[in-house]
Amino acid sequence: MTTLARAINSGLHRALEADPKVLLTGEDIGRLGGVFRVTEGLQEAFGEDRVIDAPLAESGIVGTAIGLIMRGYRVVVEIQFDGFVYPAFDQIVTQAARLNYRTAGRQGVPMVIRIPFGGGIGAIEHHSESPEAYFCHTPGLKVVAPSNASDAHWMIQQAIASPDPVIFLEPKRRYHAAGGDIDDEAAAGLHDARIAKSGADATLIAWGPSVLTCLEAAKASEYDLEVLDLRSLSPVDWPSVYASVARTRRAIVVQEAPRTLGLGSELAARLHEDLFYDMEAPVLRVTGYDIPYPPARLEREYLPSVDRILDAVDRSLSA
């Protein structure tokens, strides 16, 4: 069994080994191996010129990475915690996301921005955010979120190989849990959803840390629930989403992020627009609340739980 953290580490190792133009940079990623030890051993294996300990300056890290890309490198940036990405927001959304368009396709942006995201680790403020909606709303960015070790191992390599900037969201509270075995090859493309569990009565749609919670809810439910792991948040694999919901005729979206204007809202809107006559109940959402992420002692009340998901399933099946 391989943890999600070790799976990402092995994927980064393979990418560094395969292409001398791949560089890693971020705060404390080299000698320390990152605060979650995801990059442990990589500087020792590939040297300080390829696994670079950066200053405490997220905007500078991303801006420097963009410059390196324009000189022919592929750069993987680690943002130490999700809430630390905001100082780099301008560089990401006004530079990295637009550079390909600005140059009429002459300049690719092979950049991966790794962000540990989500709550559940008892952390202090700015360490448990779910910022995916900001980046999904930005044209020019790809956004992905693996939920298990095998996907994480292959998706990080696929993201590094992409010519586009990829926001790579890593569910931090799943880093060191048993993540499963790594498949011999990628089971799906970078932007493909997957059925984590087949079912007939309703579809639970989730990504990142919420996928395991949905699998636990499906196991505890009296109904036969399907769990769809979105994997790619932008672009969304709409054919897979539509096929699952058309089959089960009910959908519940689960996200840690606040409810209003989150990715779940877009999923619900599109399903209602395109599958209105196929569904037997409205799309329901189980989400975080519209408040700043709470102190650690209250986060269990904030995060979507098995009980909250099962309550939504009951409401959907009784509609």
Q: In this predicted model, what pLDDT tens digit does every residue of 4-36 receive, in sequence order?
A: 999 999 999 999 999 999 999 999 999 999 999
Q: Would you say residue 213 has pLDDT above 80?
A: yes
Q: What is the pTM for the complete model shown?
A: 0.97
109 and 69 in contact (C-beta within 8 Å)? yes
Instruction: For residues 196-207, give the mean pLDDT.
Output: 98
191 is catalytic: no
The mean of the pLDDT values for the chain is 97
Alpha-carbon distance of 64 to 228, in angstroms, equals 37
Tell me what pLDDT residue 186 has.
Answer: 83
Tell me what pLDDT residue 296 has.
Answer: 94
Domains and CATH numbers, the chain: 4-174 (3.40.50.970), 194-317 (3.40.50.920)
Instruction: For residues 51-57, give the mean pLDDT.
Output: 97
Alpha-carbon distance of 229 to 106, in angstroms, equals 34
What percentage of the chain exceeds 70 in pLDDT? 100
Catalytic residue among 127, 153, 176, 191: 127
Q: In this predicted model, what pLDDT tens digit does every residue of 270-298 receive, in sequence order?
A: 999 999 999 999 999 999 999 999 999 99
DSSP codes joined into one string, the chain: --BHHHHHHHHHHHHHHH-TTEEEEETT-SSS--TT-TTTTHHHHH-TTTEEE--S-HHHHHHHHHHHHHTT-EEEEEPSSGGGGGGGHHIIIIIITTHHHHTTTSS---EEEEEEE---S---TTSS---HHHHHTSTT-EEE---SHHHHHHHHHHHHH-SS-EEEEEEGGGTTSB--PPPSS-SS-TT--EEEE--SSEEEEE-TTHHHHHHHHHHH-SS-EEEEE--EEES--HHHHHHHHHHHS-EEEEEEEESTTSHHHHHHHHHHHHHTTT-SS--EEEEE-SSSPPPGGGHHHHS--HHHHHHHHHHHHT-
Backbone angles phi, psi at 248, to 5 degrees: -90, -25
Tell me what pLDDT residue 184 has.
Answer: 83
Q: Would you say residue 200 has pLDDT above 80?
A: yes
Q: Would you say residue 319 has pLDDT above 80?
A: no
Q: In this predicted model, what pLDDT tens digit does every residue of 102-136 receive, in sequence order?
A: 999 999 999 999 999 999 999 999 999 999 999 99
Token duo for residue 202: 């309703």
Q: In this predicted model, what pLDDT tens digit does every residue of 176-196 receive, in sequence order?
A: 987 778 988 888 999 999 999
